[in-house]
A and B are shown apart, each in its own frame.
Chain A
Amino acid sequence: MSQMRLSEVFKRCKTEGRAALIGYLTAGDPDVASSHKLLARLASHVDIIEVGMPFSDPMADGPVIQAASERALASGTKIADVFAITAELRSANPELGIVLMGYANIAYAMGFETFAQKAKAAGADGVLLVDIPPEEGGICDAIFAAHGLDRILLLSPTSTDERIRLADQKGTGFIYYVSLTGITGAEMGAMDGIREKTRHIQSMTDKPVCVGFGVKTPQQVADVAAFADGVVVGSHFVSQITSHDGTDAIADALGSSALAMHQAIASGA
């Protein structure tokens, strides 16, 4: 089932008549040991986890996720830790979708072949590299495919129909629609526009279309879940790490926040 796990997740959610809930945390934030616990807690309330790979130059991220990368790197997080965290998540959650998310250079530095092997061995289902658009996929697409890893591509409000078709052709697993022209953590735009563009993308692809960037409250989750195949929550979860003291308190806050969002999806659908 491993190769198909992400599509299994979406199928399962669909049978339950709801959108998937996708949560993001940066691996190693604030440190490796705490990060294991935080991701484990998040995993019990979401369908897919995006495990962020910390990077020195997170060009597409706002202050919250930038700071997460800085904390993770400052506490000594290595790419080996990211794989170890992923492996632990996998063994405790056989049905969870896991996507490694980050910037191209982390995978490029290791070599895509080695990276793919390790990602697969750790139990990841897909890879989302923000700065490898479909046009540059020649350096990694075949390798990820050979290892049975989905290549998640992004679309944005600036994406033309031509680019939507490109993402549909080259992407696998699901399409991540970035709902605003901006960086992570910004305020969400007007729901009408997001719905319209999401529906337009859905009309052009059979792949699940998940919507993220700026989703912070259970109400927003419910609103997006009404038309998207999945809802991604990132900065809001990451921000729990600085607004609570101690790993247990952070984990509790993450757990209750994710639970509230999950319920919003289940009831709002």
Chain B
Amino acid sequence: MSLSDQKPDLTSIYNLEIKHAPDAGGHFGRFGGRFAAETLMQPLQEIEDAFFEAWADPAFHAERLDLLKNYVGRSTPLYHAKHLSREVGGAQIYLKREDLNHTGAHKVNNTIGQALLARRMGKKKVIAETGAGQHGVATATVAAMFNMECHIYMGREDIRRQAPNVFRMKLLGANVVPVDSGTATLKDAVNEALRVWVASCEDTYYIFGTAAGPHPFPLMVRQFHTVIGQEARAQCIEQTGRLPDVAVACVGGGSNAIGLLHPFYDDADVKLVAVEAGGHGLDGDEHAASLAAGKPGIIHGSLSYLLEDEEGQVKGTHSISAGLDYPGVGPELANMLEAGRLDLDAATDTQALDAFKLLTRCEGIIPALESSHALAAGMRIAAAMRPDQTVLINLSGRGDKDMGTVFELLGDEIEGGWK
């Protein structure tokens, strides 16, 4: 077997057709759109024009796919987690290993695409918001490679929770700006990045980190992430001879979820499951389950499900994982939910932590706390299925960034002999 046989070139399976596109205004059904301040309307139009122009240009994809292969390390493996499947005792669990991407999460698929776009548009400066710091790291990484000035906005609370990523961003040459307003988490970091962008859109490109925000971000971010689901779909067929029965992903803003799930949209027999952060439980306010517990609202440039009080004030959220700690969600997932093409699930902090421990010990893979939510729900779903069925779970990132949080929670237990 030659080296190239071991890692087949999957670029031929990438489908560049834009399927299930929103309308011209960026609406997915009644969701989405461009609810932005006037100053941003023209800059957003320019990004939309540049995106469609680039997407139609083979040279853009040649460079993008080359970077995805040789810089990011795509395709990522699809791993049959036999030990975990045995432990769970149900369907076969397959993990899409986005944790093995350069920088340790799926986020880089999107930042490569948007940085190429920024360069195409002649912008010398990029800004981004970040929650867990994964999008910030992925942005700082491509900014370093493309030699662009980079400013990352991050809530003060998240800076505390995700210290290793903050240091990585600084190492990469990014300026990390703490955000103290509101709840000092991801939503406030988005607010601040938007404010900065309003004042600097002339020379600055805003690399939005999830499949939410004003049009064209939900569409564009989805297109950059569908490599996940397109590869997984082909790999599933290659390894099992058929499509998975269920595909599962965690949802913060929705980028890894739409990236994994969208390529299965038209496979009616594949059940698509979005897993939200259940925090301390969905009955109270201490969670981040926008689709399950929110209602339609307008925030950060689009209409989608939103956790808000009866007055329309956006609620603070809670999740053990900073990357899921967001009161909104991408408009396409909202539309898929209402169209009956998406099933909802949630994992609590405790369930996510248990899944984190189990995968680590069973398979020697330390997942991100965000991805642990998808694992927790995916295992629950698999447990109720037959051994000849398959559940595909998106392992959106690795857990290195979470060592601090996990040490605080499990340190004593592990030092004292964790079983």
Decide whether A and B are members of one complex: yes
Q: Chain A: residues with CB nearer than 8 A to chain B?
A: 55-62, 66, 70, 73, 78-79, 103-110, 130-133, 135-136, 153-160, 163, 167, 178, 180-183, 186
Q: Are B311 and A79 in contact (CB under 8 A)?
A: yes
Q: How many residues on B have C-beta within 8 angstroms of the other chain's C-beta atoms?
A: 39
Main SS of chain B's interface residues?
mixed
Q: From known contacts A105-B308, A105-B312, A158-B201, infer whether A136 and B34 are also in contact, taking CB-CB under 8 Å.
A: yes
Chain B 297-337, CB within 8 Å of chain A: the 1/0 string?
Answer: 11111010010101111100000000000000000000000
- Residue in A79, A105, A153 whose beta carbon sits within 8 Å of that of B306 in the complex: A105
Chain A residues whose CB sits within 8 angstroms of the CB of B73 once the complex forms: none
Q: Are B298 and A108 in contact (CB under 8 A)?
A: yes
- Residue in B38, B296, B303 whose beta carbon sits within 8 Å of that of A154 in the complex: B38
Interface centre among A66, A73, A107 (most CB of B within 10 A): A66
Interface centre among B188, B190, B191 (most CB of A within 10 A): B191
Q: From known contacts A56-B314, A79-B311, infer whether A131 and B42 are also in contact, taking CB-CB under 8 Å.
A: no
Q: Are B39 and A178 in contact (CB under 8 A)?
A: yes
Q: Are B299 and A57 in contact (CB under 8 A)?
A: yes
Q: Are A136 and B195 in contact (CB under 8 A)?
A: no
**Closest beta carbon of chain B to A201's beta carbon, Å:** 12
Q: How far is the CA of A60 from the CA of B40 in the complex (A)?
A: 10
Interface centre among A61, A79, A154, A156 (most CB of B within 10 A): A156
Q: From known contacts A105-B299, A109-B310, infer whether A163 and B35 are also in contact, taking CB-CB under 8 Å.
A: no
Q: Are B42 and A160 in contact (CB under 8 A)?
A: yes
Interface centre among A56, A107, A178 (most CB of B within 10 A): A56
B172 within 8 A of A: no
Chain B residues whose CB sits within 8 angstroms of the CB of A55 once the complex forms: 312-313
- Residue in A109, A130, A178 whose beta carbon sits within 8 Å of that of B308 in the complex: A109
Chain A residues whose CB sits within 8 angstroms of the CB of B191 once the complex forms: 57-59
**Closest beta carbon of chain A to B292's beta carbon, Å:** 18
Chain B residues whose CB sits within 8 angstroms of the CB of A133 once the complex forms: 34-38, 41
B33 within 8 A of A: yes
Q: Are B312 and A131 in contact (CB under 8 A)?
A: no
Q: How far is the CA of A159 from the CA of B46 in the complex (A)?
A: 12
27 contacts between A and B (CB under 8 A): A56-B313, A57-B182, A58-B191, A59-B191, A59-B195, A60-B39, A60-B198, A66-B181, A78-B311, A79-B311, A105-B306, A107-B312, A108-B296, A108-B303, A131-B37, A132-B35, A133-B36, A133-B37, A135-B41, A154-B37, A156-B38, A157-B39, A158-B42, A159-B38, A160-B42, A181-B198, A183-B199
Interface members, chain B 190-218 (any A CB < 8 Å): 190-191, 194-195, 198-202
Chain A residues whose CB sits within 8 angstroms of the CB of B313 once the complex forms: 55-56, 73
Chain A residues whose CB sits within 8 angstroms of the CB of B387 once the complex forms: none
Chain A residues whose CB sits within 8 angstroms of the CB of B38 once the complex forms: 133, 153-156, 158-159, 163, 167, 178
